Every structure is written in structure tokens, then in C-alpha cells.
Amino acid sequence: MGKHLLATHRFHRHPLNLALLLALTPAAAFAAEPTTLGTVTITGTKEAQPVAETAASVGVINSSVIDELKPGHPSEIMGTIPGVHVNVTGGEGHMTAIRQPISTSPVYLYLEDGIPTRAAGFFNHNALYEVNLPQAGGIEVTKGPGTALYGSDAIGGVINVLTRPAPLKPEAEITAEVGDHGWNRILITGGNTKGDDGIRADLNITSTDGWRDATEYDRQSATIRWERFLASGATVKTVITASNIEQQTAGTSRLSEEDYLNNPTKNKTPISLRNVEAIRISSAYEKEGDSTLLSITPYARYNSMELLPNWSLTYDPQHYTTESHSLGLLTKYRMDFAPNRTQVIIGVDFDHTPGSRDENAIAPSSTNDIFTSYTEGDKTYQYDVDVSSIAPYVHVETSPTERLRIDAGLRFDYMAYDYTNQLGVETTGSHRRPGSTTVEFDHLSPKLGATYAFSDSLNGYAHYRNTFRAPSQNQLFRQGRAVNTVDLKPVEANNFEIGLRGNTGRHSYEVSVYHMTKEDDILSFRDTITGDRETQNAGETLHQGIEIGFGSALTDTLKLSISHSYAEHTYEQWSPRTGIDYSGNEMASAPRNISDIRLNWHAKALNGGRIELNWEHLGSYWLDNENSHQYKGHELYHLRANYFLNKQLELFGRIHNLSDERYATGASFSQFNGEEFAPGLPRTLYAGVSYKWQ
């Protein structure tokens, strides 16, 4: 067998690459179609596993769907998964809602090829713009608490973005796109496999002037993936990714109702900014035997963010920089046993992340209620914090009968924050500072689940999962006005879920019902009169709902796909201050209904292309914890189309917000500011061309 054929054989045999090949094939799904029983996922056990044997609600977006949609923002593609909502906060910034309200809370774990993009304690709610999403090899979303293989932050869901494998033959592609509001994007990708080595490189250069005043955005992202097939049968996959993002942002900068309706391009905070650098390097060694698999993945990463936040300019104007450097190691050993197709996975994860925060108060100046400039003031926070964690785990799967598969797992997480205050203790005022200290957390997370194949076309599952999230470093040590934040407790979540997945040939569907409680939820109490905010533990919150996905091939060329979720998010017990009790109220920014419906027409006249009409619905939600003011929700229509002139050349375009609806990407109410709304993008046209060499 020649070297090239040997490499190809090993590529298909290896479980990770096999999963990628299966997950990325167009036959798996079209945009927004429910995840079918034959789809393969790798997030649950970090290797290939049929969705039919996964006791969880998993959404898989394939590379063919990403290529077809060519998303300019994560919100344009993530809604294809039932129960997943991503909004727009400017540029490619976003907030996520998966079984949680729309918020910046660190309740999601973002991964790239199974490796966390940031260390626990350094969460960034804009995490999807730190990965190269439009050139990804796939996206997997495990909704609800993560498995025993994942630790802190995996409460609302685990989002795993996959890099693209090296092609088996030489190929290259360049895509150029322009649009309204100064939108420009160039995507370049290419690679080859030669002998025992395969390599792919991706480049993403994006810029826009922004549609609101002073909202320019620029990004440069690059990915290099090198796969080496060793003579021993082992593989080594090395991935290097880097992103640089510069944004003059309005973010969710909100306007009065009058400006929102009549002057939506107005930006009251043009001095705000967000500059991000993210670099990740990993090298995954995997050796598979007849009944074993050894996986060792060392990694390093660097994250830096300079931020002048717009949301606090009126009550706590600050300019700060956070940095972190990480070294980590993921280890896993799988053993297979013939009786009952039993698998046992044991592993240990290590992470050591030194980080820092440097923050200055600023004195902003304004003209006609618009902040126009600022001067640096006193330093309010300057500290170093080293976050170290270790987490051993065990995961077991077995099939007592041919149709029943049971999985169970246990994970123990230990985390330590070694905090050094560089400025000294401050016990009064609005910028209190705790003294240097060490804070430790540990948690034991059990899980139990089962899947049952009623037939080849009908599958059900049920599970219980427990997980936690440690307070992030800024919640612990950026004390603000709170009396004590160092003693914040970790959040603990318990989730019960049942689901059904089916496929009748031309139709596929999935339904999941969940009930999740969070104890000691970490919430920010905002005084509606003074505007002051304080981070504290709430007693308990309840999150429950139903998610439905449906896909139908109406004809050979016409396909319908529906994603819908209904959820209720309530405070079961929270009295943040004497005389104030939110128990029984719905949480703010928590829409009950979220829907995404897509109608695709794949006509022969389009030469392999398609026309897609997309209806997006976001239900009403409360603007405040008192449940006294409400945003009515919105409905948007989007149109996308592409046409192939030949096998190499593709023309494409899309229209966002076809009916030019006025809608809000964020809304709130306080006695201090009244009702405020962050206006969403008006009707916007994009067009581009893609050329492929093969």
C-alpha cells in the first residue's frame, strides 16, 4: 500500500476524522433540519458517536450548511438549532440564550475541537467571534448541562466549533463579499494531503463601517491545521488559530423609545471600544488499538481584551484591559469490552491560567447626551490572578439489550484562584477591593442517561445531569459596591430531560422537554432607582421548556424546516434586598417563544443553488425583574440565494430584514433611564462570488 493510500486509509479509520467526515457530508442535514438519527456527533464523548445513542439534545450544523448560508454573524446560523438564540451586539458580538435568558452570564462552554477557547473564570460572552465561524468544519451544540467530560460553565449548553480537516486532494477556494454599510469580507482556504501529512489553512478578513454611527468593526482570523499519520497507526493533529478584532462599538447601547423609532442610527456612546486578541495552539495525539484509545492533547492559549464598555458610562465609566495565558492538558483513555458493547472512558483535565486586570476610572464628556471624549482618572483595580484546575472523570456506556443503551459518568472539579491585589484594600465606596487571597472551589458532578431505539426510525432518550459554574474572576475580585464578593458560592444546576427523535424518510423530527433548577445563581442586582449594580447569589431559579425541530422534503426540490422552543425562566427564590422580593417573577430578557422557519427551493434552474426564505420570531419578554414593562417581541424575514455558473464559480446574495422591520436586539427598563431599546439592523443587502480550484 502506497504512502498516500495508507494515509487515506488511516484518515478514515481514525475515530475523530471519521466523525468529521460523517458530520460534514451534505446528506446529514440541510439548513435547520432536525438532527437525524444517523448523524454523528463528537462533543459528547470527544469522539465519533451516533446521535441515536446520545442521551442529550444535540444540534449539528454541517460544513455544507455553513458553506450554503455563508453567515456574516453567528445569529444567521445558530437559530437553525431548536432552542438556540444568538442576538447581535455590534460587529460579530453577541449574547446567547440556550435554556437561559438572553444575557452575558458565563453559563455556556465554548470549545474549538473539544478544547475550551478560554479558561474557566475568564468568560467572554462574545466567544463565537474569537473562532473562525464562517470557515468552520461544523458546529455542535449540546443543550443543557455538559457531560462528565466537561466542567465549569457548561450549564446552558456546550458549543463546539470544529476546524476543517485537510482535503485528500489539492484544493483552494476564495470568497469575496460586499454589502451595505461598508461590509467587506474575504475568505481564503486551501490544503492538500501528501503522503502521511495533511494540511489546511484558512484566512478570514472582515470589515464594516457599521450601520449605526461610529460602529466600525475589523477582524483578521487565521487557522492552520496539520494532520500527521504516524507509522505506529497513531495520529497527531496540530491546530493553530489566531484572531485580532478591533471594534468601535455601540454594542447594545440603548436609546429612548423616541430615538429608537425615529433616529436608530444614533450612538450615544461612540467613545466605547472593544479590542480582542486570541491565539490558541493545540496538538492532539491519539493512538487506537483493537479495544483501546489513548488521547493526549496539550494546548496553550493567549487572550487579551481592551474594553471601554458603553453600558456603564452613565453610572460607572471605566477603561480596562484583561489578559490571560494558559497551559493545559486533556488526557483520556477508552477501553472497549465485548459484552454489551461496553465502553469505559477515564480521563484527567489540567489547566493553569495566569491572568490580570488593569482598570482605570474615566471622566467622560458629553454633548447633547452623546459621549464625545474622556480623560483617564484614578486606577480602580489592578490585580493578578492565577487560576488552576484539575478534573478527573469517568464515563461508562453499556447496552443491556440491543435497543437500550445506558451511560453514566462522574467528574470531580477542583479550582483555585490565587489573587494578588496590586493597589491595596478598599472597604468603602463604589470600587471596593478585597485583600490578596486564595479562593478554592470543588464540585462532584454525576450524570445518568439512557437511549432506547423503538425502531430503526424512532429513538427516545432520558437523562439526569448535575453541573456547576465557579464565579468568574471579575465577579470575585472586582467587588464594586457589594459588601463581599470573595465568598460568592458556585452555581449548581440539576437538569432532567426526556426527548424523542424520529425519521420517516421524507420527514424528520425531534422533541425535547427539560426541567432545570439552578441554586445559588450568580445574578447582578440593579437598583432601578439609583442604577447601582451588585453581584450576589440568588436562592434558586427555574428553567423549563420544550424544544421542537421538524424537517420535511415537501417535494424533490422544496424543503421546509422548523425550529421552535417554548420556555419559562423564573425566580423561585430571590430577595436581593430587604423589602424587595422577586420570587415567582419571570426573569428579565427571557422570551418564552423562539422560532426559526426556513423554506428552501433547490431548483434545477439554479444549477445546484437554492433560494431560501427565512422567518425569525422572538417572543415578548420582561424588561425588568419586577415584570412591570415588556418588549413585545419581533418577527423578521430574510432571503438568501446562490447560483453556480459552473463547478468552480458560485454567485450568492442575501437580504437581511426583508421587510425593514424596526426591532430591538436588547431592551431594558429602570426608573433611572426608563424604557430603552438597542435597535437591530435594518434591511441590508449582501452579495458575493466564490471560486474553487480542485
Q: How far is CA 16 from CA 113, 442, 648, in A?
A: 10, 31, 29
If we measure between CA atoms, which residue out of 353, 423, 432, 341 comes closest to residue 383?
423
8 A C-beta contact, residue 555 and residue 26? no
Tell me the C-alpha distance between 517 and 19, whole Å.
33
Length of the chain: 694
If we measure between CA atoms, which residue out of 415, 403, 519, 421 comes closest to residue 479?
421
Strands (E) across 399-532 are located at 404-421, 437-455, 458-469, 491-503, 507-519, 522-526
8 A C-beta contact, residue 627 and residue 586? yes
Tell me the C-alpha distance between 570 and 544, whole Å.
9
Q: How many CB atoms lie within 10 A of CB 564?
A: 17
Tell me the C-alpha distance between 472 and 126, whole Å.
15
8 A C-beta contact, residue 509 and residue 551? yes
563 three-state secondary structure:
strand
Task: Please give the model's pTM, rounded to 2 decimal places.
Answer: 0.92
Tell me the C-alpha distance between 519 and 528, whole Å.
24
pLDDT at position 311 is 84
Burial group, residue 363, by CB count within 10 angstroms (0-12, 13-18, 19+): exposed
* Segments of the chain with pLDDT less than 50: 1-32
Q: How far is CA 503 from CA 22, 51, 75, 384, 549, in A?
A: 18, 13, 27, 53, 12
Tell me the C-alpha distance between 489 and 492, whole Å.
9
DSSP symbol at 426: B
pLDDT at position 48 is 74
pLDDT at position 52 is 86
pLDDT at position 23 is 35
Tell me the C-alpha distance between 320 and 641, whole Å.
43
pLDDT tens figures, 650-693: 999 999 999 999 999 999 998 878 899 999 999 999 999 999 99
> For the chain, what percent of residues have pLDDT higher than 90?
79
pLDDT tens figures, 296-346: 999 999 999 999 998 888 889 999 999 999 999 999 999 999 889 999 999
CATH fold group of domain 3-693:
Maltoporin; Chain A (2.40.170)
If we measure between CA atoms, which residue out of 535, 543, 625, 623 comes closest to residue 583?
625
8 A C-beta contact, residue 90 and residue 217? yes
Which residue has 426526556 as its cell numbers?
498
Q: How many CB atoms lie within 10 A of CB 660?
A: 12
Burial letters 419-447, b for 16+ CB under 10 A, else e: bebeeeebeeeebbbbebeebebebebeb
